[in-house]
A and B are shown apart, each in its own frame.
Chain A
Amino acid sequence: MEKIKKFFLPRPIILSSGKIVQPKLSPMVYILPILGIAIYYSAQLTRFKFSTLINRGSQFFVIVGRMIPPNPAYFERAWMPLLITILMSVFGTIIGSAFSLPAAYVSSENMVKNKYAKLAFRAIFSILRTIPLLILAIIFRNIFGLGAFAGTMAVGVFTFTIMTKMFYELIDTADMGPFEAIESSGASRVQAFWSGIMPQLWGQYIALILYNFEMNIRNAAILGYVGAGGIGILLNERLAWRAYADVGIILIALMVTVYLIESLSRHIRKRLL
Chain B
Amino acid sequence: MIQFENVVKTYPNGVQALKGVSLTIEQGEFIAIIGLSGAGKSTLLRSINQMHSITDGTLMVNGVNVSSLKGKALRRFRRDIGMVFQSFNLVKRTTVIKNVLAARVADMPLWKSLLGLYAKEDKLIALEALDQVGILEKAYTRADQLSGGQQQRVALARTVAQQPKIILADEPVASLDPVTSQQVMSDFVKINQDLNITVVANMHHVDIALKYARRVIGIKEGLIVYDGPSTEVTNDILKAVYGRELSDDELMGA
State the A residues within 8 Å of B (CB). 175, 177-178, 180-188, 190-192, 194-196, 199-200, 203
Q: What is the distance, in angstroms, from A163's C-beta to the closest C-beta of chain B? A: 19
| A178 to B91 CA separation, bound complex (whole angstroms) | 6
| A191 to B82 CA separation, bound complex (whole angstroms) | 16
Q: What is the distance, in angstroms, from B218's C-beta to the closest C-beta of chain A? A: 25
Query: What does the 1/0 interface line of B50-78 toward A look like (CB < 8 Å)?
Result: 01000000000000000000000001111
B162 A185 Cβ-Cβ under 8 A: yes
A195 B102 Cβ-Cβ under 8 A: yes
A184 B83 Cβ-Cβ under 8 A: yes
Check A186/B102 contact, CB under 8 A, given A180-B89, A199-B94, A200-B93: no
Q: Which 7 A-B pairs have the closest CB atoms?
A: A177-B89, A186-B79, A186-B78, A186-B106, A187-B106, A181-B89, A184-B83
| A187 to B105 CA separation, bound complex (whole angstroms) | 6
B49 within 8 A of A: yes
Q: What is the distance, in angstroms, from B64's C-beta to the closest C-beta of chain A? A: 13
Smallest Cβ-Cβ distance to A176: which chain B residue: B89
Residues in B whose Cβ lies below 8 Å from that of A180: 51, 85, 89
Residues in B whose Cβ lies below 8 Å from that of A185: 78-79, 82-83, 102-103, 106, 158-159, 162
A194 B158 Cβ-Cβ under 8 A: no
| A192 to B78 CA separation, bound complex (whole angstroms) | 13
Smallest Cβ-Cβ distance to B77: which chain A residue: A186
Residues in A whose Cβ lies below 8 Å from that of B158: 181, 185
| A177 to B158 CA separation, bound complex (whole angstroms) | 14
Check A182/B105 contact, CB under 8 A, given A190-B110, A194-B113: yes
Check A181/B155 contact, CB under 8 A, given A186-B79, A199-B91: yes
| A195 to B94 CA separation, bound complex (whole angstroms) | 10
Beyond the given A186-B80, A192-B105, please list 19 additional residue pairs across the A-B interface where CB-CB is below 8 A.
A175-B92, A177-B85, A177-B87, A180-B85, A181-B90, A184-B49, A184-B81, A185-B103, A185-B106, A186-B77, A186-B79, A188-B110, A191-B108, A191-B113, A194-B114, A195-B105, A200-B92, A200-B93, A203-B93
Residues in A whose Cβ lies below 8 Å from that of B188: none
Q: What is the distance, in angstroms, from B50's C-beta to the closest C-beta of chain A? A: 9
B93 A199 Cβ-Cβ under 8 A: yes
| A194 to B116 CA separation, bound complex (whole angstroms) | 9
15 contacts between A and B (CB under 8 A): A178-B90, A178-B99, A181-B102, A184-B51, A185-B158, A185-B159, A186-B80, A186-B162, A187-B105, A188-B106, A190-B110, A191-B105, A196-B91, A200-B91, A200-B92
Residues in B whose Cβ lies below 8 Å from that of A187: 75, 102, 105-106, 113
State the B residues within 8 Å of A (CB). 49, 51, 75-83, 85, 87-94, 98-99, 102-103, 105-108, 110, 113-114, 155, 158-159, 162
Q: What is the distance, in angstroms, from A197's C-beta to the closest C-beta of chain B? A: 8
A177 B88 Cβ-Cβ under 8 A: yes
| A184 to B82 CA separation, bound complex (whole angstroms) | 7
A184 B78 Cβ-Cβ under 8 A: yes
Smallest Cβ-Cβ distance to B98: which chain A residue: A199
Residues in A whose Cβ lies below 8 Å from that of B106: 182, 185-188, 191
Check A186/B76 contact, CB under 8 A, given A177-B89, A191-B106: yes
| A190 to B49 CA separation, bound complex (whole angstroms) | 19
| A185 to B81 CA separation, bound complex (whole angstroms) | 7
Q: What is the distance, in angstroms, from A113's C-beta to the closest C-beta of chain B? A: 13
In this complex, the member of A175, A183, A191, A195 whose beta carbon has the largest number of chain B beta carbons within 10 angstroms is A195
Smallest Cβ-Cβ distance to B49: which chain A residue: A184
| A182 to B113 CA separation, bound complex (whole angstroms) | 12
| A243 to B25 CA separation, bound complex (whole angstroms) | 87
A196 B102 Cβ-Cβ under 8 A: yes
Smallest Cβ-Cβ distance to B78: which chain A residue: A186
A178 B78 Cβ-Cβ under 8 A: no
